[in-house]
Amino acid sequence: MTANAQDEPEVFAPADIWSEDYINMIFPWAPANDMDRQFKEYHTYETTKDLMLQLEQENPDIFEFHEGLLGGTNARGETVTADTYEGWKYSHSSPWMKITGDVGGGEYNEFVGDSGNYADRHDVLIVGNHHAREWMSYEVVLMQLEVIAFSYDNIGYDNDGDGLVDEDPWGDANNDGILDDDGDCLSLDSEFQDSNKDGNPCGPGDLGVDEDYSEQFITDLINTREIYLVPMLNVDGNIYDREVFCPAPAWESCPSGGWRKNLRDNGPDLLPDFNEEVDEDCDGVDLNRNYQFEWGAPLGATVPLIPGTCTPSEDERAGIANNDVYTGPYDTQDNDGDGFINEDNVDGEDDDNDGRTDEDWAGGNSEPETRFIQDLTEMNDDVGDGASEFKSTLTHHSYSELILYPWGHCTDCETTDHDQLVYHGSKMAEMTDYTNMQSSDLYPTTGDFCDWHYGVHDSYCYTSEIGTAFHQNEVDIDHIAVRNLGTGFYITEIADNPRERADLGIANISKNQFIQMPEMVNVPSKGFIPVDMCVANGFSYSLEQSVSHVMYRTVKPNRAQSDYGPKEWSTTAWSMAPFEGTSSTCTLLNGENGTVIRSNLPIPDTISGEVHYKAMLGTLGGGDMYLYPANGDYYVLTIEYRADYGTFGGALFMFLIVASFVWGGLAICLRMMLTDEEEKEFMDALIEEDGS
Ligand SMILES: [Zn+2]
Average pLDDT over residues 48-65: 98
Say if CB 495 and CB 461 are below 8 A apart.
no
Q: How far is the CA of 446 from the centre of ligand 1 (A)?
A: 13
Q: How far is the CA of 397 from the centre of ligand 1 (A)?
A: 4
Percent of the chain with pLDDT over 70: 86
- Three-state secondary structure call for residue 5: helix
Region of poorest pLDDT, from 71-80, 333-342, 542-551: 333-342
Q: 692: pLDDT confidence band, cut at 50, 70 and 90?
A: very low
DSSP letter, residue 106: S
Q: How far is the CA of 85 from the centre of ligand 1 (A)?
A: 20
Identify the pLDDT of residue 320.
Answer: 46
Rounded to a whole number of angstroms, the distance between the first and last alpha carbons of the chain is 7
Whether the predicted pLDDT of 49 surpasses 70: yes
Helix, strand, coil fractions of the chain, as percent rounded to 5: 30, 20, 50
Whether the predicted pLDDT of 579 surpasses 90: yes
Q: How far is the CA of 597 from the centre of ligand 1 (A)?
A: 47
Q: How far is the CA of 207 from the centre of ligand 1 (A)?
A: 28
- In this predicted model, what pLDDT tens digit does every residue of 7-33 receive, in sequence order? 556 789 999 999 999 999 999 999 999
Q: How far is the CA of 466 from the centre of ligand 1 (A)?
A: 9
Q: At what angle do helices 485-493 and 136-151 cross, to 10 degrees?
A: 70
- In this predicted model, what pLDDT tens digit does every residue of 264-274 receive, in sequence order? 988 665 555 66
For the residues of 548-570, what is the DSSP string, one character each?
Answer: SEEEEEEE---GGGTT--HHHHT
Q: How far is the CA of 287 from the centre of ligand 1 (A)?
A: 9
Q: How far is the CA of 131 from the centre of ligand 1 (A)?
A: 5
Q: How far is the CA of 48 from the centre of ligand 1 (A)?
A: 19
Region of poorest pLDDT, from 83-97, 228-242, 404-418, 629-643: 629-643
Identify the pLDDT of residue 676.
Answer: 44
Contacts 24+ apart (CB under 8 A), 33-41: 37/146, 38/478, 39/139, 39/143, 39/477, 39/478, 39/481, 40/474, 40/475, 40/477, 40/478, 41/474, 41/477
Closest CA to 502 of 392, 595, 630, 617: 392
Say if CB 405 and CB 438 are below 8 A apart.
yes
